Structure 1
Amino acid sequence: MWRDADFRRLWASQTASQLGEHASLVVLPLFAVLTLHADAGQLGVLRAVGQAPILLLSLFVGAWVDRWRTRTVLVLTDAGRALILGGAAAAGLCGWLVLPALFPVAFAVGALSVFFDVAYQTSLVRLVRRDQLVRGNSALEGSRSAAQIGGPALGGALVSWLSAPVAVASSALFFALSFVSARRIRRSESLPERSGTPPRLWRRIRDGLRFVVKEPSLRTVCLASAAFQLSFSATMTGYLLFLPRELHLSGTVIGLALAATGPGALLGAMLAARLPQRIGYGPALISAAVLGDGVFLCVPALHASSAVTVPALLAINFVFGLGGQLVNVTLMAVRQAATPHDMQARAAATINLIGMGMTPLGSLLGGLLAQQWGLRTSLLATAAAMLASPVLIALSPLPRLGRTFPQSS
C-alpha cells in the first residue's frame, strides 16, 4: 500500500491538513480567551460557530461528493482554508483581528473542513482495496495523531511567544502544503455509474439517511458518536477555560498538554492495525471506549498548587488519545466495510451529521454549565456524560464482532 504514490500523496495532504486544523482549533479559542478576554459564553459561541457547518452542511456535502472526484474537492477546500486564514492573519497584523471577526473565520474554515473530511474518507475507499481499509485507515489516523502532537503545541506556543496573527498564519501554511500534495494525486477515480437522469439531491440524501438508519452497526455508530460528541464538546469548552483560569497554566503549557493526545493517538492507531484482529473488533472497541472516555473524570480533581498537575494532564491526554484513536479507526473500518461503494460519501456525511452535528450544541451547553455551576462542577458533569457513548456501544451488536468486520452487500 505504501508503494502506491497516490496513497502517499493522500496521506501527505491529510497530514498537513490535520496539522492546520488542530493548530487552528487551539489558536482561535486561546486567542479569544487569553488576548480578547472572552468569557465562558463567548467561547462556547465561538466554538459552536466553527462546528455549526457540520450540522448544516454534512448531508448536502455527502450527496455531492459521492458524484464528484475527491481530488478536486480536496484541492479546492485546501485552497479556500489557506486563503481565509491567510487573510485573517493579515488583518491581525494590521490590528483588525477582534473577537467578532473570529466568528466568520471559524464558520468558513469549519464549512470547508466538512467537505475535506468527507472527501478524504471517500478517497481512501477509491484508492485502496477493501482488504486494505484497516491498514489505510490506520496510516491516515496515525498522521492525524502526529498532527495532534504538533498542531496544539505549535498553536499554543505561537500564541504565547509571538502573536495570534502569526499562529493563524501557521495554520494557513499547513493548508497550503496540503493543497500542493492533493494536486499531485494522479490516479483516475472510479466513480459510481451515472445511469440516466441523476436522482434529485433530496432523494440522494434520503437514501443515505435510510441506509444508515436501517444498518444496525451504522445506527449504533451514529448514536454513540452523537452521545460522545455532545458531551466531549461540552467538556472541551470547560476544559479550555479550566486550564488557564483554575490551574493558571500558560498558553505554551496548555498547548503541550493538549499535544499529549497525539502520542497516545499514534499508539492507538498502531494498535488498531493489529489488536482487533487478535482479540476481536468488539472487545477492542468497548475496552478502548471505556478507557478513553473515562479518563477525563480525573481532570476536575487537579489543582494549580499540585506538583503532579502537569504530569497528570499529560497522562490523561495520552490515555484519551490512545483509547479514542483505537475507537475511531475501528469504527471507521466497520463503517467503510459495511457500506456499498456508491454510498460511501453519503454514509460518512450522515454519520458526521448525527455525530459531529452535536458539537455546536455541546459547546453552547458547556459554556452555559460553566457559567451556572462553575468550572470544576460543570467539568465533572460533562466528563461523566462522556461514558454514555461506551454504554450505547455495549448495548449494541458491535461488542460481539469477532476478528472480521461486516461486508457490504
Structure 2
Amino acid sequence: MTALPQLRRQPGFRRFWVASTVSDLGTRISTVAIGVLVVVDLGGSAADVGLVQGATMLPYLAVGLFVGVLADRIRRKPLLVATDLGRAVALGCVPALWALGWLDVPVLVAVMLVFGLLSVLNAAAHQSFLPRLVAREQLHRANVRLDQSDAVAQTSGPLVGGGLVAAIGAPVTILVDALSYAVSGVLTALTPADDPVPERERRSVVAELREGVGWVYRHPTLRPLALGTHGWFLFHAVLNATYVPYALLELRLDAVGLGATFALAGVGALAGSSASERVGGLIGIPAVVTACWLLEAVGFAVIALAGAHDGPVVVVLAAGGQLLYGLGMGLENPITLSYRQALTPDRLQGRMNATIRSFNRAMVVVGAPLGGLLADSAGLRTALWVGVAGIAATGVLLLVSGFRLATHDVGAPGGG
C-alpha cells in the first residue's frame, strides 16, 4: 500500500488549515465582544443575549436541510469562499451601525440573522470539504489538527478580545472578526483541491433531502449519536446564554476576566484534542464521548458553585470550570466528527453534515432564548444547574443507546 504524505506536506490541507485557524481566532475574539456589546453597551438582559445567539442559528431551521442538498450538487470551494466574504461584510456592518447610532438589540439580531444564513451555507460545505483534501485514513488526524488550532484560538482569542474591548470598545472589536473572515475567504480561494462538480442523476430536492435525513436517522450508530448531540446542543445553549451575564453581573468579572476564563477553556480544548487520537484508541468511541459530556457537566457545576464565593477564588473556580469544559470538548469533537465523515459516502457528506448541524442549531434556537428567560425568571445560577443536569443526562443516555457499538474501524461506508 502506498504511504500517505504527512498532512503538513499536503498544500491543500495546509492552506485550508490556516484559513480555518484565522477564522477561528476572529470568532473567539468576537465571542467576548458580542457578549459585552449586548450586556454593557446596549444594556441588554440574559434573554437578549439568548436572542442574539439564537438569531445566528435560526436560519438552520429555515434552510439548513436544503443547503446540504446544495453542497452535494455543486463545487464546495466556491461556496466556502463566497460565504466567508459575505460574513465579513455582515459583521463589518456592526461597528458601522454603532458609529451611526443605529445599533440596538433588534438591529443586532437582524444582522446576526444574515450572518447566520451565510454560516449555514458555509457549514454545509466546510465539514464536507475536508474529505476531498485528505484520505479517509487521515480524517481523524486532520480533524485533530483543526481542533488544536481552534483550541489555540480559543485560548488566545478571548484574551485578545477582552483586551481589545477594554481598549477600543466592543463594536470596533467585532471588526477584527470581520477581517478574519475576509482573510479566510482569500486563503480558501487559493487552496488547491480536487473539487469537481458532482456528476449525479438529477432528482427532486425533496428526494435528495429525504435520502440524507434517512441516512442519518436510520443508521444504527449514527442515529443515537445525532440525537444525543442534539440534546447536548440544547443544554449547551442554555449554558452559553447564561454564562456571560452570570460572569459579568454575578461573579463581577470585567471584560479581561471574562476573556481569561474563556481562554482557559481553550487551554483545556488544546490538551483534549492533542490526546484525542490516543485516548479514543485506548478506551473506544462510546466511552470517550460519554466521559467527555460528564466532564463538561462537572466543569459548569464548578462554575455554578463559584457564585457562592468572593474574591480571587471566584476567578479561579470560573477559569477551572471552563478548563474542564474545554478539555471534554477537545477530546470528544475530533472523534465524533471523524466517525461521521468516515462512515458516510462522499455523495452524502453535505447532506449528512447539514442534517446533523441543522438540528443541532435548531436546539440552539430553542435553548439560547430559553436559557436567557430561565435565567431572568429563576436566576442565573438555576439556569446553569439546568444546563449541567441536561448535559450529564445526555451522556448517560448515549452510553446505553445503540451508539455503544460504535468502533473506530467503520469499514466501508455504510458500516457501523
**Normalized against structure 2, the TM-score is what?**
0.93
Q: 1:155 to 1:321 in 2, by over 3 A?
A: same
The answer to whether 1:149 aligns with 2:152 is: no
Q: Which amino acid aligns with 1:211?
A: W
Q: Deviations over 1:342-388 (max 9, x none)?
A: 10110001111222220010011111111221112222122221112
Cα drift, residue 406 of structure 1: 5.1
Question: Cα RMSD over matched residues?
Answer: 1.7
Aligned equivalent of 2:399, options 388, 394, 398: 394
Aligned equivalent of 1:383, options 388, 392, 406: 388
Cα drift, residue 57 of structure 1: 2.3
Q: Which residue of 2 aligns with 1:8?
A: 14
Q: Which residue of 2 aligns with 1:348?
A: 353
Q: 1:53 to 1:26 in 2, by over 3 A?
A: farther
DSSP 3-state at the match of 2:287: helix
Cα drift, residue 278 of structure 1: 2.6
The answer to whether 1:331 aligns with 2:322 is: no
User: Does the CA-based 8 Å contact 1:281-1:405 persist in structure 2?
Assistant: no
The answer to whether 1:272 aligns with 2:265 is: no
DSSP 3-state at the match of 1:2: helix
The answer to whether 1:363 aligns with 2:368 is: yes
Q: Deviations over 1:80-125 (max 9, x none)?
A: 0111122322232343333332111111112212222221211111
User: Does the CA-based 8 Å contact 1:272-1:330 persist in structure 2?
Assistant: yes
Give the aligned length. Answer: 407
Q: Which amino acid aligns with 2:23?
A: S
Q: Which amino acid aligns with 1:298?
A: V
User: Does the CA-based 8 Å contact 1:205-1:346 persist in structure 2?
Assistant: yes
Give the 5 Å matches for 1:51-200: 51-195=57-201, 198-200=202-204
Give me the whole-angstrom Cα distance separating, in 2, the residues matched to 1:153 and 1:307. 18
Q: 1:106 to 1:24 in 2, by over 3 A?
A: farther
Q: Which amino acid aligns with 1:183?
A: A
Q: Which amino acid aligns with 1:389?
A: T
Give me the whole-angstrom Cα distance separating, in 2, the residues matched to 1:293 and 1:17. 28
User: Post-superposition, which runs of at least 4 consecutive aligned residues in structure 1 deviate over 4 A?
Assistant: none
Q: Which moved more, 1:75-84 or 1:275-284?
A: 275-284
DSSP 3-state at the match of 2:310: coil
Give me the whole-angstrom Cα distance separating, in 1, the residues matched to 2:185 and 2:126. 13
Q: Which amino acid aligns with 1:316?
A: G
DSSP 3-state at the match of 1:216: coil
Q: Which runs of 5+ in 1 are unaligned?
A: none
Give me the whole-angstrom Cα distance separating, in 2, the residues matched to 1:158 and 1:53. 30
The answer to whether 1:252 aligns with 2:252 is: no
Q: Which amino acid aligns with 1:216?
A: P
DSSP 3-state at the match of 1:225: helix
**Normalized against structure 1, the TM-score is what?**
0.95
Give the 5 Å matches for 1:266-345: 266-303=270-307, 305-345=310-350
Give me the whole-angstrom Cα distance separating, in 2, the residues matched to 1:325 and 1:407. 27
User: Does the CA-based 8 Å contact 2:84-2:181 persist in structure 1?
Assistant: yes
User: Does the CA-based 8 Å contact 1:285-1:399 persist in structure 2?
Assistant: no
User: Does the CA-based 8 Å contact 1:286-1:393 persist in structure 2?
Assistant: yes
Q: Which residue of 1 aligns with 2:4?
A: none
Q: Which runs of 5+ in 2 are unaligned?
A: 1-6
Cα drift, residue 188 of structure 1: 2.9
Q: Deviations over 1:14-48 (max 9, x none)?
A: 11222222333332222010111102222222221
Q: Which residue of 2 aligns with 1:42?
A: 48
The answer to whether 1:222 aligns with 2:226 is: yes
Give me the whole-angstrom Cα distance separating, in 2, the residues matched to 1:5 and 1:84. 30
Give me the whole-angstrom Cα distance separating, in 1, the residues matched to 2:96 and 2:182. 16
DSSP 3-state at the match of 1:66: helix
DSSP 3-state at the match of 1:358: helix
Cα drift, residue 130 of structure 1: 0.8
Q: Which amino acid aligns with 2:336?
A: L
Give me the whole-angstrom Cα distance separating, in 2, the residues matched to 1:112 and 1:22. 18
Give me the whole-angstrom Cα distance separating, in 2, the residues matched to 1:85 and 1:44. 18
Give me the whole-angstrom Cα distance separating, in 1, the residues matched to 2:158 and 2:59. 22
Give me the whole-angstrom Cα distance separating, in 2, the residues matched to 1:52 and 1:20. 22
Q: Which moved more, 1:277-286 or 1:321-330?
A: 277-286
Q: Which amino acid aligns with 1:105?
A: V
Q: Which amino acid aligns with 1:235?
A: L
